[in-house]
Amino acid sequence: MTSSERPFLNRRLAEFGTTIFAEMSALAVQTGSINLGQGFPDTDGPEEVREAAVRALRDGRGNQYPPGPGVPELRAAVAAHQERRYGLLFDPDTEVLVTAGATEAIAASLLALLEPGDEVVALEPYYDSYAACIAMAGGTRVPVTLRPHEGSFRLDLDELRAAVTDRTRLLLINTPHNPTGTVLTREELTAVAELAVERDLLVVTDEVYEHLVFDEAEHIPLATFTGMRERTVTIGSAGKTFSFTGWKVGWITAPPALVSAVRSAKQFLTYVSSGPFQYAVAEALALPEAYFTAFREDMLAKRNLLSAGLADAGFEVFRTAGTYFITTDIRPLGESDGFAFCRALPRRAGVVAIPNAVFYDHREEGAPFVRFAFCKQTPVLEEAAARLKTLGA
């Protein structure tokens, strides 16, 4: 939609159209295509977690406004999860805040922490809500582009350092990274942490795919690095880890001064949300390790299946070390415009994908890249691969 079709929309939001996810999911429904665009699983998460939500609803837990910071059971479960997995100690009462998904955590963090004119350094391609929330907060985004290097997208640490100016307030990091599937290494994270400490920056780190890391990759929260705990807001979400994206239960962990700042913004966005689901997610976070291992192994098999299918269909396939997305390069298929390619793909092959260009300020950098989600049932991925194979025919 152009700005002339939206005459009332303010200047801060004028550049943001309908999200690509809504556009592409609608196209999938319209054309009856397999939807490998928007990242949501086509099966629900664990039955016992679903039942926990039903129990909470029936028992009248969370049907009225839950407490502003989130129900105590969930805050305790988030703190226990951070301690068990990463050795990070957070006080559930002052250092955990439950949000309406990671989306609200991102919005509330940026609205609370930025002054108009502050610069935010973010990894490009970036998740689409980052740009819109920086704009709503009156900030300026300064993208640092991840570029293909030996089969995956890598961060250039010199470029990151050069992007920081006297106006930089905050680093907005995302690892595992959507859409590229990159997981920042210990060395890269060490450099990010050193930079943040040296320049006295706040860090907001979106780690919603923390449980989806494959092969030799390891997810290391930025808050575990020297000097980082006190300056970092870490964002998590139940949507990705437990396959209930519609429940919209997310959270932040941070020191009390940062949590109270973010809570100030959050209380005027939704105030609270997802009452009964918060109790269910508290139980989900306490699931035995076997759940998380099986989830990761299932997604790994799916990654392998779709990566092979895409390569077989003629795409250049980048290695996904984390998330449930694969980024491809369409140039080997004789294509160069990801937008045009994705808009035509439903009719050409009955599959929907996402043009990575929407995640770039430097649109031309992202033009040949297209993202496919593999959080779908195996027969669906097999059928998608078979359909995509007809592209080159």
Q: Applying CB under 6 A, which residues contact ligand PMP?
A: 39, 101-103, 127, 174, 178, 206, 208, 237, 239-240, 245, 248, 250
Amino acid at 289: E
The residue at minimum Cβ distance from ligand GLN is 39
| Number of Cβ within a 10 Å radius of residue 8 | 4
Residue nearest to ligand PMP (CB): 101
Q: Using the structure block, give the residue that is written with the tokens 């300064």.
A: 142
Helices 47-58 and 275-285: angle between axes, nearest 10 degrees: 140
Closer to ligand PMP by Cβ: residue 128 or 312: 128
Q: Least distance in Å: CB of 326 to ligand PMP? A: 14
- How many C-beta atoms lie closer than 10 Å to residue 338's C-beta? 25
Report which residue type is found at 61.
R
Helical ranges in the chain per DSSP H: 20-31, 47-58, 72-86, 101-113, 128-136, 157-163, 186-198, 238-242, 256-266, 275-285, 289-312, 338-349, 363-366, 378-389
The option from ligand GLN, ligand PMP, none interacting with 101 (CB < 5 to 8 A, set by class) reads ligand PMP
Nearest distance in Å: CB 289, ligand GLN = 25
Nearer to ligand GLN, 4 or 18 (CB): 18
Give CA–CA dist 145/156, Å, rounded. 8
Residue 38 interacts with which of ligand PMP, ligand GLN, none, CB < 5 to 8 Å by class: ligand GLN
Identify which of residues 221 and 250 has a Cβ nearer to ligand PMP in the complex: 250
Residue whose CB is less far from ligand GLN, 178 or 180: 178
Tell me the closest approach of the beta carbon of residue 285 to ligand GLN, in angstroms: 20
Instruction: Choose the one of ligand PMP, ligand GLN, none that binds residue 66, judging by a C-beta under 5 to 8 angstroms depending on kind.
Output: none
Q: Minimum CB separation from ligand GLN for residue 102, in Å?
A: 8
Complex with ligand GLN: residue 178 or 320, whichever CB lies closer: 178
* DSSP track, 341-364: HHHHHHHHHSEE-EEGGGG-SSHH
Q: Which is nearer to ligand GLN, 21 or 314 (CB)?
A: 21
φ, ψ of residue 174 to 5 degrees: the values are -140, 110
Q: At its nearest, how many Å lie between ligand GLN and the CB of residue 354?
A: 7
Which amino acid is present at 184?
A: L
Tell me how crowded residue 379 is: count the other CB atoms within 10 A of its CB: 8
**Shortest separation between residue 187's beta carbon and ligand PMP, angstroms:** 22
Q: Which residues bind ligand GLN (CB under 6 A)?
A: 21, 38-39, 178
CA dist., res. 341 & res. 364, Å (int): 14
- Respond yes or no on whether the N-terminal peptide bond of residue 176 is cis (omega within 30° of 0): yes
Based on CB atoms, which residue is closest to ligand GLN, 67 or 246?
Answer: 246
Q: How far is the CB of 245 from ligand PMP (least distance, A)?
A: 5
